[in-house]
Chains A and B, each alone.
Chain A
């Protein structure tokens, strides 16, 4: 079964109809066919996490998914996170805390952290670090990424409490 297949993907609440070989990864399809280049490839072995996207709310290594596996799921990439000109609090905190330098690993970390915070808006430090240990960064040394996620959780759970969400 090597013939290209016609697949409909639901990405960021939009439909993308693509024709891909079964061996083509979700990451490659997102980047090439959907023209969403914010999802990056750091290793293609599933170790670095730069390719992390959310599939039905769960962080997933898109370099280890075949496109043909991804019909009938809801895929979210970095491009969906901001609301027009308005950055998501997580993005805002990344900038505020200097949690990015070259920015290559950043979309993967944002999606990973978003998956965590949407599931648990008040993680403790241990849980934050355990989740973040899934992904690699070579520039920042991680400290500011942890600070940004922590600050965001405080904002998001505070907003929830005061009914602002």
Chain B
């Protein structure tokens, strides 16, 4: 029975369940010193003086550095969606002359322990001349204050994606919905904070770095460039990782500072982020303003969609460049056939923590916006929300469907999908009609009960390539060397399943090596839910090549022709004569130099393969919720929630399920609980988990997960679509629609999160009372310069 498709137990668990995982904070090196970072206490100001002398004079302090010490180090470059305009707003590893967000690194202290390093932080004197604060996109556009001198209006970039003729189509529509929306700042918040351990060996001129993940090969190149070292003298080692969600593994200031210090002090050095730092220093995400105009016929068919979008990047552009708004602009249309579309996107800056990608980046946001608009259409036309969706879904017959848009440097083409089928199955599985009836009856008794739904398209399998190497050793062990990274999602397990099947070995015979740049020459990493598709496909190819070689050598050794051999359970045998067989180990031993090999064959069993694609693949899903709003507390009680997701094909159903449930929890947190709030001076108010609220088990509702395989992808041999993000994508949209249905209001749910305070405010306004929350019901879309 093949391993692919089975819920095989994970290889990673054996060490993790015993507490024997090695995370970066567990790396211990002899004589290791510890770093602490002095971070800006203000959101915007000129640095008029820094005095580190008292700190340096402490007997416990090994070294202190400021921007002056690294004055020749350039800014941290972008990795994705790299428009040249954005280079005006990139970040130096230490603040040079100016700080632009609370938490920006200003100096680094090194001491024998973290306790002593932090003690010394208090001895550093920094003088700041405060500058005007830009707190959000609205202010960014209106104020005279510039975060970066060459960036006018604090707009780092404007770009447009379009197809068709949106203005004519809107003018010719029977109805136009014109609404503004706001999605708040929140982010991945993995349970493990970031960390870097670095060690420089002067004899071998080798710099070794732990704590890296996600895109190790790229980051090694960045570090080599910034330090002026050859890449070959930098060795990255990936440890166990406590979750990524998009925010871990990018190149941050500390990724330069700690290796730089290791080389400077010639002593191993560790920096482990604490949570208070993490909430200020690690990428934020999601903060967007939208103004949407959608035109429809009186039968509910969408004719046109025009979106203006402001993406708040915080104080600097980080490694993701314009990825988030690019994703938004490419996936705003979702599963619907919309022939006239225009998205005008602006990357704005503010005096807050820089922002990057977070699970379903750009898509959580636009799914909220679009699916709210769909419900508004339904209400305006007196149609059922499910029916409005159904009549607009792209039919299966039109797949592959060319959207005419671009993302991640590729054309966005939906490879496969049977959207109408999933909509029907989800609604049936949820009991949509019964739920609506229940809600209607409950509302008649004065309760605020409602049903919400949303449909979304996700993306995965980003190319352009991935590397894999499969080796078989004389003990018969099959080693897979992958350019992808393990962030806790089960990569070792998935690749073992795929390779075990392809090479015909036991699951336990396979071992996966990742993130180690000495053993893996090339890799694009794990992000954008690409690993299953890219690393899986490359590994499958490499495994097949290895199997072919085992058979060819086995044929020589057994003196038969390759066609007479079959392969199973790590052995090559003459078909029908099991006594004439060889184990993989025996064949590998016989392939070493000195043994006779078939003509043209090189020694050893080591096969490399690349998998290349120029387009992404597109899983898709439906979410439904039945909720009750407590008018007194503002609480949202979710009676039940259905998350449906078509992933093409499941390699390990248990892991896919885990991704959907875990993703849902994050989407839920984003919809109801989590928020990075700032005061008007740019001071973060979400300083700890007391303020930034993460869902606990108590917040999880009865959740049904429906994973389907209706539409395998035609674009990779396994037919798979990466499942990592779709649990999160539509939760904000679905709950907003449900709360809106429960309260019976039309346009007021146009911002997230739906905290008790805001929900109570909505309840007040529903009953005609004025709102109490500072932001008025309607989002006031900022004036865009040049309009």
Contact = CB atoms under 8 A, between A and B. Distances in A.
A interface bracket (residues with beta carbon within 8 Å of B): 35 or more
B689 A48 contact: yes
A142 B700 contact: yes
Contacts of A129: 697-698
B20 A38 contact: yes
Contact of A42 (B20, B275, B658, B663): B275
Interface in B259-290: 272, 274-276
A105 B700 contact: no
A138 B700 contact: no
23 contacts: A35-B28, A38-B19, A44-B275, A44-B276, A45-B690, A82-B18, A95-B10, A98-B7, A98-B654, A101-B490, A102-B243, A103-B240, A104-B23, A104-B192, A107-B19, A129-B697, A133-B696, A133-B698, A136-B694, A139-B662, A140-B662, A141-B703, A145-B697
B115 A23 contact: yes
A159 interface: no
A45 B689 contact: yes
A150 interface: no
Of all A-B residue pairs in the complex, the 7 with the closest CB atoms, nearest first, are A38-B19, A102-B488, A103-B16, A104-B242, A78-B19, A141-B661, A141-B665
Interface string B684-698: 000011100010111
B243 A144 contact: no
A66 to B, nearest CB: 13
A47 interface: yes
B241 interface: yes
B664 A102 contact: no
Contacts of A135: 696
Given A82-B18, A142-B700, A98 B658 contact: yes
Contacts of B10: 95, 98
Contacts of A141: 658, 661-665, 700, 703, 727
A101 B689 contact: no
B19 A39 contact: yes
A87 B661 CA distance: 26
Contacts of A103: 12-13, 16-17, 21, 240, 242, 488
Contact of B662 (A82, A101, A104): A101
A146 B12 contact: no
Interface residues of B, number: 57
Interface in B674-725: 688-690, 694, 696-698, 700, 703
Contact of A138 (B9, B245, B658, B698): B245
A24 interface: yes
B116 to A, nearest CB: 10
Given A23-B115, A133-B698, A102 B191 contact: yes
Q: Which of B13, B25, B490, B666 has the most CB of A within 10 A?
A: B13
Given A45-B690, A101-B488, A101-B489, A138 B190 contact: yes
Given A45-B690, A96-B9, A102 B241 contact: yes
Contacts of A146: 697
A36 to B, nearest CB: 8
A132 interface: yes
Nearest to B241: A102
B189 interface: yes
A104 B191 contact: yes
B192 A42 contact: yes
B432 to A, nearest CB: 23
B26 interface: yes
B697 A106 contact: no
B487 interface: yes
A102 B661 contact: no
A49 to B, nearest CB: 10
Interface string A78-110: 110110000100010011101011111111001
Contacts of B26: 31, 37
Given A96-B9, A140-B658, A44 B274 contact: yes
B17 A87 contact: yes
Interface of A: 21, 23-24, 31, 35-45, 47-48, 50, 77-79, 81-82, 87, 91, 94-96, 98, 100-107, 110, 129-130, 132-146
Nearest to A41: B25
Nearest to B659: A101
A100 to B, nearest CB: 6
Contact of B661 (A41, A81, A133, A140): A140
A31 B270 CA distance: 14
A133 B697 contact: yes
Interface string B207-250: 00000000000000000000000000000000011110100000
B655 interface: yes
Contacts of A38: 18-20
B269 to A, nearest CB: 16
B211 to A, nearest CB: 14
Contacts of B245: 138
Nearest to A21: B115
Given A37-B25, A100-B13, A136 B275 contact: no
A132 B657 CA distance: 21
B19 A43 contact: no
Nearest to A43: B275
A96 B9 CA distance: 7
B689 A43 contact: yes
A40 B239 CA distance: 15
Most buried by B among A50, A77, A142: A142
B23 A40 contact: yes
A139 B488 contact: yes
B19 A37 contact: yes
Given A43-B688, A45-B688, A140-B662, A102 B242 contact: yes
Given A40-B23, A82-B18, A87-B17, A104 B243 contact: yes
A26 to B, nearest CB: 14
A145 B698 CA distance: 13
A63 to B, nearest CB: 10
Contacts of B662: 101, 138-141
A5 to B, nearest CB: 15
Contacts of B272: 41
Nearest to A146: B697
B36 to A, nearest CB: 14
A146 B703 CA distance: 13
A162 B243 CA distance: 41
A163 B26 CA distance: 40
Contact of A100 (B17, B190, B689): B17
Contact of B191 (A21, A36, A50): A50
Contacts of A37: 19, 22-23, 25-26
Given A48-B689, A102-B488, A104-B192, 6 more contacts: A38-B18, A39-B19, A40-B23, A42-B193, A106-B16, A138-B190
Contacts of A44: 274-276
Contacts of B689: 43, 45, 47-48, 136
B19 A142 contact: no
Contacts of A39: 19
A95 B12 CA distance: 10
Contacts of A77: 19
B243 A106 contact: no
A142 B696 contact: yes
A39 B192 CA distance: 12
Contacts of A42: 191-193, 275
